[in-house]
Amino acid sequence: MSARHGTATPTAPDTGTSDRSGEPDYGFPAPLWRALERARPPGLGRTRAWRSPIRGPWLTSVFGAVLLVGLPIVTVTGFLDYAAYGPQFGQAFPADVGWLRPPPFDWPTRPAWLFQLTQGLHVVLGLVLVPVVLAKLWSVVPKLFAWPPARSAAQALERLSLLAMVGGILFEIVTGVLNIQYDYVFGFDFYAAHYWGAWVFVAGFVAHTVLKLPVMLRSLRSRSLGAELRTPLADTRPEPADPADPDTLVALDPGPPTVSRRGALTLVGGGSLLVAGLTAGQTVEALRPAALLLPRGRDYGDGPNDFQVNRTAAAAGITPELAGPTWRLRLTGVDGSTPDAGPPAVGVALDAGVGAPMVFDAAALATLPQHTARLPLACVEGWSTTQTWTGVRLRDLAALVGVPEPTSALVRSIEREGAFNRAVLTRGQVLDPDSLLALVVNGARLSLAHGAPARVIAPAVPGVHCTKWVGSIEFRR
């Protein structure tokens, strides 16, 4: 037995299953693992209760292969969304992430649909993969009830890593699904939970991928996908069970098939297509009416301001008076702000060469040179909408207060409460020629719900940083 153990390679750790005589291998101390195996509770183990004739390593590997491609995309786009929030300004959540942070970089402004793409992919693909995740879990569920749970310390540790992966992905699905529908029934901080849950998942996913990739490739090669897609129900047979694997997924006493493998794959793929059809409309304008079960599929009307709102004026405590004739925009240029200074201090002394603060009312702003840009407004919750915005370029405003080359800018709303009543924009986001303090959308004055009298809109900037009801902008040299 020990000689066979020695042949185990790090990439194919079929731990405890290498003995072809049928007696499984045990790690140290073998008597303990053997005793554990003998103490089998009723119902556990490879019993005749598992009857599906299509459950087997090939089917599991097909689902696994889809997830191996899809889940890294969902994960990476999720971390990109974190980076887009500007962690260097302390405005990504959670703010303090220790070592587990994406590499720091300034989120680009081009292409203008970059954030629309990353958050759309993250949410839509994440939802589309839910049927595949469920199918994958169904396909391996006998392993959960296998007995013994482990035959060595290696298997026991591996099962623990599976808990990180499975728990992680289910937790991410549950919190994500609730968050995009504004259902905060969980009561905790979504950002912290979803961020750390992602890392727990990633840890388990990496280990599982490295350990199981050879098994997956071997299983995929064991049958031809093309042949399976031509096999009808009447010709559907169970996969051959590996006699060397005491925990094989293949049923001991398979029942008659009620669905072929191609039927099962079609069912899961159809489920994903259904979800895609019901969610893509949150981001793709032409499909909007198809998102009929999601808040961002609703139609607001045909007017120039009739598009998705993410914080109503009422919720933000903005009255028509506050945004009316008494509204003023205050522009300042300040010195000495370092990019990672965190939430900025007010009242940094003005440099002698920097111009005095300037105050504008809505009429004065309208006399400045206006620029029009067609830009998406994209939310991290997985929806976006592209509109035509007109207003004053942020870089023109920066130049007015004597900071034509700012390192960053702090935009504040007149909204008093709310996590997003301020945002720091990077140098690139201020200087982009399409970055605007918008006064007009689709040819009409902004409505109160969309941030009247003035809001920020800038390419590839997350929606929550396109501050509405802007009261002041501080350009930092």
Partner 1 sequence: MITRLYGAHPLHLMLVLGCLAGAGYAALQVGVNPLWWLMLIWFSAAVLLHDLVLFPVYAASDRVLVGVLGRMVNYVRVPLMGCALTFALFFPGIVRQGDAVVLGNTGLDQEPYLARWLMLCAAMFAVSGVVLVLTGAARAIRSRRAARHPRRTAPAPDGARAG
Contacts to partner 1 from residues 402-421, by CB under 8 A: none
Closest distance of CB 233 from partner 1, Å: 6
DSSP assignments along 221-269, one per residue? HHS-HHHHHT--GGG--PPPP-TT-TT-SS-SSPPPPSS-HHHHHHHHH
CB environment 239-276: b (16+ within 10 A), e (fewer): bebbeebbbbbbbeebeebeebbbbbbeebeebbeebb
Whole-number Å distance between alpha carbons of 424 and 442: 26
Q: How far is the CB of 172 from partner 1 (least distance, A)?
A: 9
> How far apart, in whole angstroms, are the C-alpha atoms of residue 253 and residue 250?
9
Residue with smaller CB distance to partner 1, 5 or 328? 5
Cβ proximity of 63 and 136 under 8 Å: yes
For residues 426-455, which are near partner 1 according to CB under 8 A?
449
* Rounded Cα distance, 473 and 464, in Å: 16
Q: Per CB under 8 A, does 171 bind partner 1?
A: yes
Candidate list 119, 139, 175, 305; residue touching partner 1; CB under 8 A: 175
What does the block give as tokens for 387?
Answer: 């509109």
The stretch near partner 1 (CB under 8 A) out of 111-119, 147-155, 336-344, 352-360 is 147-155
Span 327-356, contacts to partner 1 by CB under 8 A:
none
8-state DSSP, 87: G
Nearest approach in angstroms of CB 169 to partner 1 is 9
The SS3 call for residue 85 is coil
Contact status: 264 vs partner 1 (CB under 8 A)? no
* Residue span 354-393 as binding mask against partner 1, x where in contact by CB under 8 A, dash where not: ----------------------------------------
The nearer residue to partner 1, 150 or 403, going by C-beta atoms, is 150
Return the residue of 69, 234, 345, 419 that touches partner 1, per CB under 8 A: 234
Query: Which x/- pattern, by CB under 8 A, does the window 97-116 give for partner 1?
Result: xxxx----------------
Q: At 123, is the secondary structure helix, strand, or coil? A: helix
Q: Which contiguous run of DSSP H or E holds residue 440?
A: strand 436-441
Total site size for partner 1, rule CB under 8 A: 98
Q: Binding segment for partner 1 among 60-68, 74-82, 167-175, 432-440 (CB under 8 A)?
A: 167-175
Using the rule CB under 8 A, is 151 a contact of partner 1?
Answer: yes
Radius of gyration of the chain (CA): 28
The three-class DSSP label of residue 402 is coil
Q: Which member of 23, 31, 96, 103 binds partner 1 (CB under 8 A)?
A: 96
Q: Which is nearer to partner 1, 296 or 393 (CB)?
A: 296
Check residue 273 for interaction with partner 1 (CB under 8 A).
no
157 scored as a contact of partner 1 (CB under 8 A): yes
Give me the count of residues in the chain. Answer: 477
State which of positions 291-310 bind partner 1 (CB under 8 A): 292-296, 298, 300, 308-310
Place of tokens 């933000």: 316
Residues 6+ apart with CB under 8 A from 420: 311, 413, 464, 465, 467
Which residue's CB is nearer to partner 1, number 314 or number 359? Answer: 314
Choose among 104, 59, 111, 63: nearest CA to 84.
104
Q: Is 167 in the site for partner 1 (CB under 8 A)?
A: yes
Which of these segments, 70-78, 312-320, 454-462, 467-475, binds partner 1 (CB under 8 A)?
312-320
